[in-house]
Amino acid sequence: MPAAGNRPITEPHRRIFYGHIVVMSAFFIMVALWAAFYSFGVFFNPLIDEFGWSRAATAGAYSLSSIVMGLLAIAMGKLTDRFGSRLVMRICALFLFLGYLLMSRVGSLFQLYLFHGLILGTGMSGSFVPLMSTVARWFVAKRNMMTGIVTAGVSIGAMMGPPIVNRLIADYGWRLTYVILGLAVSATVILASQFIKRDPRDIGQLAYGEEETKLPAAMITSIKALSFREAFTTRQFWFVYSKFFCLGFCTFAIIVHIVPHSIKLGISAVIAANILATVGGLSVVGRVVLGRVADHIGNQKTFIIGFALMAAALFGLIPAKTVGMLYLLAGAFGLAYGTCVASQSPLVAELFGLSSHGVILGFLSFGFTTGGAIGPWLAGHLFDITDSYRLSFTICSGISLAGLILTMCLKPGRT
């Protein structure tokens, strides 16, 4: 079958495989995007100290950005299916630059919700689905591992971002720090996206591992490839949506509130930021190492491991008070979170195929971001009422167990 532009299709091992360049470009984009976005917890106390907002109201801006991110990710997935991820990333970079620049001038709660919730939420809507869908097209073999490497950029960003932002705020103040973030993030996304190509056939290559299968990958995926409308009507679709919701609820609740929770226990802001960074650091192991394991044991078993470990970490977080215990539980939570996230896109490809992968993944990811919107707000609201995170972490523990049960109910191969 001739490639686009009449280029002969070559096998990846016979020359440099461009898919690896795509993976590294996507990785650097992920690092930049999530280093800045996950640092919201570091801005949390400076914003509250200056404006006197409640924790629930302040966390609500993060929740709104998660909703906007999830809703628009569906559209971004559709655009990716049609035009590729490069155009999508350029559009998102412009919104990110504008959002962070405006955050440096925020002066009211309305502006916080507009700038962070709407504008940055729009920019971040291209932070997952377009890149994950592109990687899925470039790899048949090692798809989980390559997805894990790209999503490890989220973890690296989460590990690097909070300490760096904390230092920048200490040296330059939170307003100038937002300007620096806007410049750094938008420049990285625009430059790295120039190296991303939508499909291996566009440059005359096969997807990695396609030539090693008995049938071409296109034939294999077409056996169970579904359109968005067809996938939407299956039980599997809603099982996956619900467990993505559970994952997002727990993940964002911890990422937003682990720093103020640690400070509430009397821990310094520097150590609290490092505890948040530990979540990102250990999730790298979950994404890459267990992402590779998922290529052998399957995505369902990987999710079971991840949710079980997450539930254990969250139950342990309820009574934890010492720095050492917080570091240990943050690491366990990060490992669990990374394990689950690395298997999201491959699971969608496994269940529904690649023909509408972008838009299906976009809608299912809305479950993740919807949970991510409710989790931080509810945790902040409960703290405002009880002056404690105990009830919030208890609820997160129960939600993680629900995710485990949903995963165990999922039956790959059935609709």
Q: Are 51 and 103 in contact (CB under 8 A)?
A: no
Cα–Cα distances in angstroms (integers) from residue 401 to residues 283, 313, 379, 380, in the given order: 19, 11, 18, 21
Pick from 413, 337, 334: which is nearest to 368 by CA? 337
Cα–Cα dist 257/376, whole Å: 7
| CA pair distance 33, 35, nearest whole angstrom | 6
- Which pLDDT value is given to residue 345? 79
Read off the pLDDT band of 224 (50, 70, 90): low
Q: In the chain, count of helices (H) and strands (E)?
A: 18, 0
Question: 11-409: which CATH number, 2.60.120.260, 1.20.1250.20, 1.10.3720.10, 3.40.50.720?
Answer: 1.20.1250.20
What average pLDDT score do residues 351-370 get? Answer: 82
The DSSP secondary structure of 327-391, one letter per residue, reads HHHHHHHHHHHHHHHHTHHHHHHHHH-STTHHHHHHHHHHHHHHHHHHHHHHHHHHHHHHSSSHH
CA contacts within 13 A on the Cβ side of 370: 14
Among 33, 169, 38, residue whose Cα is nearest residue 104:
169
pLDDT of residue 3: 42
CA distances from 345 to 58, 114, 153, 175, 226 (A): 31, 30, 15, 36, 15
CB-based burial of residue 20 (10 Å sphere; 0-12 exposed, 13-18 middle, 19+ buried)? middle
Tens digit of pLDDT for each residue in 117-142? 999 999 999 888 888 888 888 887 77
| pLDDT, mean of residues 50-59 | 86
Q: What mean pLDDT do residues 254-263 have?
A: 89
Q: Which residue has the higher pLDDT, 295 or 348?
A: 348
pLDDT of residue 213: 47
- Mean predicted confidence (pLDDT) in 98-119: 95
| Helices assigned H by DSSP within 38-142 | 40-51, 55-83, 85-103, 109-112, 121-124, 129-138
Most confident of 236-250, 277-291, 354-368: 236-250
Question: So what's the pLDDT on residue 413?
Answer: 55
- Whether the predicted pLDDT of 42 surpasses 80: yes
Is it the case that residue 368 has pLDDT exceeding 60? Answer: yes
pLDDT at 15: 61
- In this structure, of 140-149, 164-173, 185-194, the range with the lowest mean pLDDT score is 140-149
| pTM for the structure as a whole | 0.72
Average pLDDT (345-369) is 81
Q: How far apart are CA 113 and CA 268, in angstroms?
A: 28
**Inter-CA distances, 291 with 31, 283, 340, 353, 397, Å:** 18, 11, 9, 19, 24
Assign 5 a pLDDT band (cuts: 50, 70, 90). very low
pLDDT at 355 over 90: no
The average pLDDT across 347-369 equals 82
Q: How confident is the model at residue 291 (pLDDT cuts 50, 70, 90)?
A: low
156-176 pLDDT per residue, tens: 887 788 889 989 999 999 999
In sign, the C-alpha dihedral spanning 123, 127, 128, 129 is positive
CA distance linking residue 229 with residue 244, whole number of Å: 19
Higher pLDDT, 151 or 258: 258
Mean of the per-residue pLDDT values of the chain: 84
